[in-house]
Amino acid sequence: MTDATFTAFRIEDCIDLERYPITDHHSEARRLLVDMCRQQLADDGCVVLKDFVRPEMLTRLEAETERLSPNAHQNETETNPYNSAADPSLPPEHPKNRFDDRTNGFVAGDRIEPDTILRTIYHNLDFKSFIAAVVGEDEIHEFADPLADLVVNVLKEGRQHPWHFDSNDFIVTMQTRKPEGGGVFQYAPGIRGAHGENFEGVQAILDGDHSALKSLELTPGDLQIFFGRNSLHRVSPVQGKRERHTVIFAYAKEPGFVGRPERAKAIFGRMAPIHERMLSEAVVRTDALSD
Protein backbone atom coordinates (compact mmCIF):
# COMPACT_ATOMS: atom_id res chain seq x y z
CA MET A 1 0.00 0.00 0.00
CA THR A 2 1.19 3.54 -0.74
CA ASP A 3 -0.12 7.07 -0.44
CA ALA A 4 -1.50 6.72 -3.97
CA THR A 5 -3.67 3.80 -2.89
CA PHE A 6 -7.27 4.22 -4.05
CA THR A 7 -9.73 5.00 -1.28
CA ALA A 8 -13.49 5.49 -1.41
CA PHE A 9 -13.43 8.45 0.98
CA ARG A 10 -11.78 11.84 1.31
CA ILE A 11 -10.08 12.83 4.56
CA GLU A 12 -12.66 15.58 5.06
CA ASP A 13 -15.36 12.90 4.90
CA CYS A 14 -13.78 11.04 7.81
CA ILE A 15 -12.26 13.56 10.25
CA ASP A 16 -13.88 16.53 12.00
CA LEU A 17 -11.57 19.11 10.43
CA GLU A 18 -13.37 22.03 12.05
CA ARG A 19 -12.47 20.73 15.48
CA TYR A 20 -9.13 19.23 14.40
CA PRO A 21 -7.74 21.33 11.47
CA ILE A 22 -4.91 18.94 10.60
CA THR A 23 -4.99 19.79 6.87
CA ASP A 24 -4.49 23.54 7.40
CA HIS A 25 -0.71 23.40 7.83
CA HIS A 26 -0.07 27.12 8.28
CA SER A 27 -2.98 28.01 10.52
CA GLU A 28 -2.72 29.15 14.11
CA ALA A 29 -5.42 26.64 15.04
CA ARG A 30 -3.32 23.71 13.84
CA ARG A 31 -0.24 25.03 15.62
CA LEU A 32 -2.17 25.34 18.88
CA LEU A 33 -3.55 21.80 18.44
CA VAL A 34 -0.07 20.38 17.89
CA ASP A 35 1.30 22.29 20.88
CA MET A 36 -1.50 21.01 23.09
CA CYS A 37 -0.86 17.42 22.03
CA ARG A 38 2.88 17.74 22.55
CA GLN A 39 2.42 19.16 26.03
CA GLN A 40 0.07 16.38 27.04
CA LEU A 41 2.46 13.75 25.69
CA ALA A 42 5.30 15.37 27.61
CA ASP A 43 3.20 15.38 30.78
CA ASP A 44 2.00 11.77 30.78
CA GLY A 45 2.92 10.06 27.52
CA CYS A 46 -0.61 9.95 26.12
CA VAL A 47 -3.06 12.25 24.35
CA VAL A 48 -6.65 11.47 23.34
CA LEU A 49 -8.49 13.52 20.73
CA LYS A 50 -12.16 12.94 21.49
CA ASP A 51 -14.60 12.53 18.58
CA PHE A 52 -11.82 12.76 15.99
CA VAL A 53 -14.01 10.98 13.45
CA ARG A 54 -17.07 12.80 12.16
CA PRO A 55 -20.18 11.55 14.02
CA GLU A 56 -22.01 10.60 10.82
CA MET A 57 -19.15 8.22 9.94
CA LEU A 58 -19.08 6.28 13.21
CA THR A 59 -21.64 3.69 12.13
CA ARG A 60 -19.67 2.97 8.94
CA LEU A 61 -16.42 2.85 10.90
CA GLU A 62 -17.80 0.32 13.34
CA ALA A 63 -19.24 -1.71 10.47
CA GLU A 64 -15.79 -1.93 8.88
CA THR A 65 -14.13 -3.48 11.90
CA GLU A 66 -17.17 -5.65 12.66
CA ARG A 67 -16.92 -7.08 9.13
CA LEU A 68 -13.17 -7.62 9.52
CA SER A 69 -13.19 -9.10 13.03
CA PRO A 70 -13.87 -12.73 11.96
CA ASN A 71 -10.48 -12.58 10.21
CA ALA A 72 -8.68 -11.97 13.51
CA HIS A 73 -6.07 -14.49 14.56
CA GLN A 74 -6.84 -15.24 18.19
CA ASN A 75 -3.78 -15.33 20.43
CA GLU A 76 -3.84 -17.58 23.45
CA THR A 77 -0.45 -17.52 25.04
CA GLU A 78 1.42 -16.28 28.09
CA THR A 79 3.71 -13.29 27.95
CA ASN A 80 5.77 -11.13 30.25
CA PRO A 81 5.85 -7.31 29.92
CA TYR A 82 8.81 -7.55 27.53
CA ASN A 83 7.39 -10.18 25.16
CA SER A 84 10.48 -12.24 25.89
CA ALA A 85 11.48 -15.59 27.31
CA ALA A 86 11.91 -16.04 31.05
CA ASP A 87 15.33 -15.41 32.59
CA PRO A 88 16.24 -18.27 34.96
CA SER A 89 19.13 -16.23 36.36
CA LEU A 90 16.61 -13.83 37.94
CA PRO A 91 14.27 -14.53 40.89
CA PRO A 92 10.72 -15.69 40.08
CA GLU A 93 9.19 -12.38 41.24
CA HIS A 94 11.27 -10.38 38.74
CA PRO A 95 9.15 -8.77 35.94
CA LYS A 96 10.96 -10.78 33.28
CA ASN A 97 9.67 -13.94 34.96
CA ARG A 98 6.09 -12.71 35.46
CA PHE A 99 3.77 -14.08 32.81
CA ASP A 100 0.07 -13.47 32.21
CA ASP A 101 -2.50 -14.63 29.65
CA ARG A 102 -2.53 -12.76 26.34
CA THR A 103 -5.85 -13.62 24.77
CA ASN A 104 -6.50 -11.00 22.14
CA GLY A 105 -6.96 -11.19 18.39
CA PHE A 106 -5.47 -9.25 15.49
CA VAL A 107 -6.70 -8.68 11.95
CA ALA A 108 -3.63 -8.33 9.72
CA GLY A 109 -3.20 -5.39 7.38
CA ASP A 110 -3.43 -7.46 4.22
CA ARG A 111 -7.05 -8.24 5.17
CA ILE A 112 -8.02 -4.53 5.22
CA GLU A 113 -9.18 -3.29 1.83
CA PRO A 114 -8.04 0.01 0.28
CA ASP A 115 -11.57 1.43 -0.02
CA THR A 116 -12.12 1.76 3.74
CA ILE A 117 -12.21 4.64 6.19
CA LEU A 118 -9.31 2.97 7.98
CA ARG A 119 -6.97 3.11 5.01
CA THR A 120 -8.18 6.58 3.99
CA ILE A 121 -6.92 7.89 7.31
CA TYR A 122 -3.79 5.73 7.51
CA HIS A 123 -2.38 6.72 4.11
CA ASN A 124 -3.36 10.39 4.19
CA LEU A 125 -0.40 12.75 3.96
CA ASP A 126 -1.98 15.41 6.18
CA PHE A 127 -2.73 12.86 8.90
CA LYS A 128 0.82 11.53 8.82
CA SER A 129 2.24 15.05 8.89
CA PHE A 130 0.09 15.87 11.91
CA ILE A 131 1.16 12.73 13.80
CA ALA A 132 4.81 13.44 12.97
CA ALA A 133 4.52 16.98 14.34
CA VAL A 134 2.88 15.72 17.52
CA VAL A 135 5.57 13.10 18.23
CA GLY A 136 8.36 15.55 17.37
CA GLU A 137 9.54 14.08 14.08
CA ASP A 138 10.13 15.80 10.74
CA GLU A 139 8.34 12.90 9.10
CA ILE A 140 7.09 9.42 9.87
CA HIS A 141 6.78 6.40 7.62
CA GLU A 142 4.21 3.69 7.07
CA PHE A 143 5.35 0.23 8.06
CA ALA A 144 6.78 -1.81 5.20
CA ASP A 145 5.30 -4.81 7.00
CA PRO A 146 2.22 -5.96 5.04
CA LEU A 147 0.73 -7.63 8.11
CA ALA A 148 1.42 -5.00 10.78
CA ASP A 149 0.97 -1.69 8.94
CA LEU A 150 -2.72 -1.31 9.75
CA VAL A 151 -4.21 -3.69 12.30
CA VAL A 152 -7.55 -4.25 14.01
CA ASN A 153 -7.28 -5.46 17.60
CA VAL A 154 -10.24 -7.64 18.62
CA LEU A 155 -11.02 -8.48 22.25
CA LYS A 156 -13.82 -10.92 22.94
CA GLU A 157 -15.56 -11.55 26.26
CA GLY A 158 -13.09 -12.41 29.03
CA ARG A 159 -10.08 -11.64 26.86
CA GLN A 160 -7.35 -9.14 27.60
CA HIS A 161 -4.04 -7.63 26.54
CA PRO A 162 -1.87 -8.00 29.67
CA TRP A 163 0.83 -5.67 30.98
CA HIS A 164 3.43 -4.93 28.31
CA PHE A 165 5.71 -2.40 26.66
CA ASP A 166 5.45 -1.66 22.94
CA SER A 167 8.34 -2.40 20.58
CA ASN A 168 7.66 0.85 18.69
CA ASP A 169 8.43 4.29 20.17
CA PHE A 170 4.89 5.55 19.68
CA ILE A 171 1.53 4.10 18.72
CA VAL A 172 -1.55 5.66 17.14
CA THR A 173 -4.87 3.95 17.80
CA MET A 174 -8.60 4.52 17.42
CA GLN A 175 -11.37 2.64 19.15
CA THR A 176 -14.20 1.72 16.80
CA ARG A 177 -16.34 -0.48 19.04
CA LYS A 178 -16.85 -0.24 22.79
CA PRO A 179 -17.63 -3.36 24.85
CA GLU A 180 -20.45 -3.65 27.36
CA GLY A 181 -17.92 -3.52 30.19
CA GLY A 182 -14.23 -3.84 30.95
CA GLY A 183 -11.69 -3.30 28.20
CA VAL A 184 -10.23 -0.34 30.09
CA PHE A 185 -6.88 1.05 28.95
CA GLN A 186 -4.51 1.47 31.91
CA TYR A 187 -0.95 2.76 31.82
CA ALA A 188 1.98 3.91 33.94
CA PRO A 189 3.42 6.91 32.07
CA GLY A 190 7.19 6.98 31.57
CA ILE A 191 7.91 4.21 34.03
CA ARG A 192 11.11 3.37 32.13
CA GLY A 193 13.32 5.17 29.61
CA ALA A 194 16.74 6.80 29.45
CA HIS A 195 16.90 6.50 33.25
CA GLY A 196 16.77 2.71 32.92
CA GLU A 197 14.37 -0.21 33.11
CA ASN A 198 13.01 0.54 36.63
CA PHE A 199 12.28 -3.11 37.26
CA GLU A 200 11.28 -2.23 40.84
CA GLY A 201 8.51 0.08 39.63
CA VAL A 202 7.28 -2.49 37.12
CA GLN A 203 7.29 -5.21 39.77
CA ALA A 204 5.25 -3.00 42.13
CA ILE A 205 2.49 -2.68 39.51
CA LEU A 206 2.52 -6.42 38.81
CA ASP A 207 2.21 -6.96 42.56
CA GLY A 208 -0.96 -4.85 42.66
CA ASP A 209 0.26 -1.34 43.51
CA HIS A 210 -1.75 0.74 41.01
CA SER A 211 -1.09 4.15 42.55
CA ALA A 212 1.00 5.21 39.53
CA LEU A 213 -1.62 4.15 36.98
CA LYS A 214 -3.92 6.21 34.79
CA SER A 215 -7.07 4.79 33.19
CA LEU A 216 -8.84 5.81 29.99
CA GLU A 217 -12.46 5.14 29.06
CA LEU A 218 -12.18 5.43 25.28
CA THR A 219 -15.18 5.76 22.98
CA PRO A 220 -15.57 5.02 19.24
CA GLY A 221 -14.00 7.71 17.08
CA ASP A 222 -11.42 8.83 19.68
CA LEU A 223 -7.84 9.06 18.40
CA GLN A 224 -5.11 8.09 20.86
CA ILE A 225 -1.40 8.86 20.49
CA PHE A 226 0.69 7.02 23.03
CA PHE A 227 4.36 6.61 23.93
CA GLY A 228 4.06 2.93 24.70
CA ARG A 229 7.74 1.98 24.59
CA ASN A 230 8.39 3.63 27.95
CA SER A 231 4.94 3.25 29.54
CA LEU A 232 3.78 -0.08 30.95
CA HIS A 233 0.18 -0.61 29.86
CA ARG A 234 -2.63 -3.11 29.45
CA VAL A 235 -6.27 -3.52 28.39
CA SER A 236 -8.33 -5.13 31.15
CA PRO A 237 -10.55 -8.15 30.40
CA VAL A 238 -13.67 -7.42 28.33
CA GLN A 239 -17.05 -8.02 29.96
CA GLY A 240 -20.12 -9.02 27.95
CA LYS A 241 -20.68 -10.45 24.49
CA ARG A 242 -19.95 -7.21 22.62
CA GLU A 243 -16.40 -7.23 21.26
CA ARG A 244 -13.94 -4.38 21.78
CA HIS A 245 -12.38 -3.21 18.48
CA THR A 246 -9.39 -0.89 18.19
CA VAL A 247 -7.49 0.11 15.05
CA ILE A 248 -3.71 0.45 15.20
CA PHE A 249 -2.15 2.87 12.68
CA ALA A 250 1.48 1.73 12.61
CA TYR A 251 4.20 4.23 11.74
CA ALA A 252 7.94 4.32 12.29
CA LYS A 253 10.61 7.00 12.49
CA GLU A 254 12.62 5.36 9.71
CA PRO A 255 11.37 3.94 6.39
CA GLY A 256 11.24 0.22 5.73
CA PHE A 257 10.27 -1.01 9.20
CA VAL A 258 9.22 -4.67 9.32
CA GLY A 259 8.30 -6.54 12.49
CA ARG A 260 10.26 -9.53 13.66
CA PRO A 261 9.24 -12.85 12.06
CA GLU A 262 8.54 -14.52 15.41
CA ARG A 263 6.27 -11.64 16.44
CA ALA A 264 4.37 -11.88 13.15
CA LYS A 265 3.88 -15.60 13.68
CA ALA A 266 2.68 -15.08 17.25
CA ILE A 267 0.35 -12.16 16.55
CA PHE A 268 -1.06 -13.08 13.14
CA GLY A 269 -0.54 -16.83 13.09
CA ARG A 270 1.53 -16.58 9.91
CA MET A 271 4.38 -14.75 8.23
CA ALA A 272 4.58 -12.78 5.00
CA PRO A 273 7.34 -13.49 2.46
CA ILE A 274 9.34 -10.55 3.82
CA HIS A 275 9.39 -12.19 7.24
CA GLU A 276 10.57 -15.45 5.75
CA ARG A 277 13.55 -13.62 4.26
CA MET A 278 14.37 -12.08 7.62
CA LEU A 279 14.63 -15.36 9.50
CA SER A 280 18.37 -15.63 8.94
CA GLU A 281 19.08 -11.96 9.60
CA ALA A 282 20.08 -10.50 12.96
CA VAL A 283 17.84 -7.71 14.26
CA VAL A 284 19.42 -5.08 16.50
CA ARG A 285 17.41 -2.48 18.43
CA THR A 286 18.55 1.14 18.39
CA ASP A 287 18.06 1.44 22.16
CA ALA A 288 19.16 -0.72 25.08
CA LEU A 289 15.69 -1.44 26.48
CA SER A 290 14.34 -4.95 26.85
CA ASP A 291 11.72 -6.19 24.37
The 8-class DSSP code of residue 101 comes to E
What span, in angstroms and rounded, lies between the C-alpha atoms of 238 and 271? 28
Q: Which of 99-103, 251-255, 280-284 has the lowest mean pLDDT?
A: 280-284
What span, in angstroms and rounded, lies between the C-alpha atoms of 127 and 120? 10
pLDDT of res. 286: 57
Domain boundaries, the chain: 11-278
pLDDT of res. 266: 86
User: How many Cα atoms are found within 13 Å in the side-chain-facing hemisphere of 100?
Assistant: 17
Task: Report the 3 state secondary structure along 124-173.
Answer: CHHHHHHHHHHHCCCCCEECCCCCCCEEEEEECECCCEEEECCCCCCEEE
pLDDT of res. 7: 60
The pairing of beta strand 238-239 with beta strand 181-182: antiparallel
What is the pLDDT confidence band of residue 10, given thresholds at 50, 70 and 90? Answer: very high
What span, in angstroms and rounded, lies between the C-alpha atoms of 81 and 162? 8
What span, in angstroms and rounded, lies between the C-alpha atoms of 211 and 204? 10
Position 282 pLDDT exceeds 80: no
Which residues, other chains included, contact 95 with Cβ-Cβ below 8 Å and sequence gap of 6+?
80, 81, 82, 199, 202, 203, 206
Could you give phi then psi for residue 43, rounded to 5 degrees? -75, -45
Could you give phi then psi for residue 48, rounded to 5 degrees? -120, 125
- Go through the chain and tell me how many residues it has: 291
pLDDT of res. 75: 86
Position 3 pLDDT exceeds 50: no
Higher pLDDT, 1 or 226: 226
What is the pLDDT confidence band of residue 4, given thresholds at 50, 70 and 90? Answer: very low
What span, in angstroms and rounded, lies between the C-alpha atoms of 52 and 222? 5
Task: Give CA 256 to chain center in angstroms.
Answer: 18
Count Cβ atoms below 10 Å from residue 22 Cβ, excluding itself.
Answer: 25
pLDDT of res. 8: 75
CATH code that applies to domain 11-278 = 2.60.120.620
Mean pLDDT of all residues in 170-190? 96
User: How many Cα atoms are found within 13 Å in the side-chain-facing hemisphere of 192?
Assistant: 27
Averaged confidence pLDDT in the chain: 93
